Amino acid sequence: MMEAGLWKAKRSRVRHIHSPRERRSRLGELVQIDGSPHAWFEDRAGKCCLIAFIDDATGELMQACFYPVESTNAYLHSLQCYVGTHGRPLALYSDRHSIFTKHDPEDPVPTQFERAVGDLNIESILAYSPQAKGRVERAFQTLQDRLVKAIRLARISTIEAANAWLPQYLAQHNARFKRVAADGANAHRIYEGDAQALARICAHHYERRLSKTLTCQFMGRLLVLITRPEQPRYALRAQTIKVVEHLDGKLELLWGSEALPFKTFERHQHLSATRVADDKLLNARVDDVLAKEAVRLRKLQAKVASQNASRQSRSTA
């Protein structure tokens, strides 16, 4: 066909040679993190995201969990679980998504994940290309084959059931695929704080300035400090405090390390946060819109059918 001019050969793609990098020598020196949106439950449920923490020295899956979408909350929750279980690694290796870094060099404020990693004294290292963090990329290729089949055999079709079952699969996976580190020492550092302090670090932090009446606004809500007659707290006027929004939605007000009592009053529905979606959240947002539209259409069809039935009954009467 090529000789007859009916077919043209495709240009061979130029192969870029990536020089291999030696593994780190100790467990916990470098941990690669990434998420993989995939049809993990095949056609039994919608797509979801598996977020995994993989040690560079051994290739061991240290932490893995399913989430509806790949988001800041998902990574903060995984970080909290990892540090609570294994301790603090020396460094985390990720891509350059806006969850992990801001792309504006003039913006000095870190992302929520950057701040949490910094508070835990963990170095955050960004990869220039997917090939640079090939350890986690190849692990996801293996998981998208083996883990999908294992989930099917276990007859699991929900995120909750999958997360409860996942530790036993990780043990089998690591027994087969992890390697022995060159140095047997463990580079993880023990986290000295308690679970409450770790949860506070792995939350969203925002700064607000108190008014003269000791109030501030947050996400469409009015936060009012509770004071006592014997302690009016006048010194807090015009002071900058920290609003901590935990992953479960609970709020805390902090002035330094002191937790301040407060009451919440709803003012208006805050829409700006729900309108923003990056490339990792866009598909999930559109799927939500489609689901709402399907519900609206079903209600409309039911209403029209009811009206038609009512008209028909009146005409026959």
pLDDT in tens, 64-92: 999 999 999 999 999 999 999 999 999 99
- pLDDT value of residue 269: 53
pLDDT per residue as tens digits for the range 192-208: 999 999 999 999 999 99
pLDDT at 185 over 90: yes
Please give the Cα distance from 153 to 165 (Å, whole number): 12
The pLDDT of residue 22: 86
Rounded-to-10 torsion of CA 179, 180, 183, 184: 130
How far CA 41 is from CA of 12, 56, 143, 159, 172, in Å, comes to 36, 28, 12, 9, 19
Q: Considering the chain, what is the average pLDDT of its residues?
A: 89
Confidence band of 275 (pLDDT split at 50, 70, 90): low
Confidence of residue 211 (pLDDT cuts 50, 70, 90): very high
Q: Which pLDDT does position 272 carry in this prediction?
A: 47
Residues 156-182 pLDDT 10s = 999 999 999 999 999 999 999 999 999
Per-residue pLDDT at 294 exceeds 70: yes
Question: Per-residue pLDDT tens for 2-21?
Answer: 888 887 777 766 666 556 77
pLDDT tier, 291 (very low <50, low <70, confident <90, very high otherwise):
confident
pLDDT grade for 282, boundaries at 50, 70 and 90? confident
Is the backbone of residue 134 left (phi > 0), alpha (psi -120 to 50) or beta? Answer: alpha
pLDDT tens digits, one per residue of 117-149: 999 999 999 988 777 777 888 899 999 999 999
Whether residue 258 has pLDDT greater than 80: yes
Q: Which CATH fold would you assign to the domain 31-177?
A: Nucleotidyltransferase; domain 5 (3.30.420)
- 127 closest CA partner among 15, 202, 31: 31
Give the span between the Cα atoms of 232 and 304, in whole angstroms: 61
**Cβ pair 119, 60 in contact under 8 A:** no
Average the pLDDT over each of 200-204, 229-233, 273-277 and give the range with the smallest value.
Answer: 273-277
